[in-house]
Amino acid sequence: MRYLFAVVALCLSPLEIRADTCPASPDHAAELDRLYAQAQAAGSEAEARAFTNRMWELWADAPDEPAQAVLDRGMSLRASYDFLGALEEFDRLIAYCPNYAEGYNQRAFVNFLRQDYAAALPDLERALDLSPDHAAAMSGRALTLLALGRTSEARAALEQALALNPWLPERHMAAPGGPLAPEGEDI
């Protein structure tokens, strides 16, 4: 019986065998503000890429090691197109760390890739409630709203994201002729 318990304990994720709760998410607000200012001042996409990459490192800095392990596992599963496995990991992360914005953002991204936009949107809203200046979640929200046919809201969400980081890849969607170009700027 002891052997069976040991095998089961080894198979469970670190979050399932921990009794304590998730600590507060790291506060990276000051560094993110600095990175946004640097991205806004960048003269090219190549120059801005380093700032954007650093933003992703900060967003993906989980509250503790068990949460980081689950986040990393979920992102790895997503990258290998195991969307159901990734969803399970992000569900586990959110259950353990309900105040960690990136758990919601990553689960939303998986649902977006699965074209389950109705499931993605509430997670993006929650990510933005927890981290109001999360430009990537804002741009994800814009893409999700566009996919749901809510173009005016999508346009406003992308405009808000681009105000923080004008070098987001989605910026081309707001260019003249793009699906989220300001109204009246058709080709």
| pLDDT of res. 58 | 97
161-173 pLDDT, tens digit each? 999 999 999 999 9
pTM over 0.85: yes
Cβ–Cβ < 8 Å for 50, 82 = no
Give the span between the Cα atoms of 95 and 21, in whole angstroms. 10
Average of pLDDT values for 61-90? 98
pLDDT of the residue at 183: 81
- CA–CA gap between residue 105 and residue 124 (Å, rounded): 6
The answer on pLDDT for 184 being more than 80 is no
| Of residues 41 and 2, more confidently modeled | 41
Closest CA to 36 of 21, 19, 18, 54: 54
Give the pLDDT of residue 186.
53
Q: What pLDDT does residue 94 have?
A: 98
- Residue pLDDT, tens place only, 15-71: 443 546 999 999 999 999 999 999 999 999 999 999 999 999 999 999 999 999 999
**Sequence ranges of the domains in the chain:** 28-37+44-174
For 58-68, how does the pLDDT look when each residue is reduced to its tens digit (9 = 90+)? Answer: 999 999 999 99
pLDDT digits (tens, 9 = 90+) for 101-120: 999 999 999 999 999 999 99
Domain 28-37+44-174 in CATH 1.25.40.10: yes
Q: What's the average model confidence in pLDDT over 88-96?
A: 98
Amino acid symbol at 38:
Q
Cβ partners under 8 Å of residue 98, min gap 6: 22
Q: What is the pLDDT of residue 185?
A: 53
Residue 115 buriedness (CB in 10 A; 0-12 / 13-18 / 19+): exposed
**Each residue's pLDDT tens digit, 128-162:** 999 999 999 999 999 999 999 999 999 999 999 99
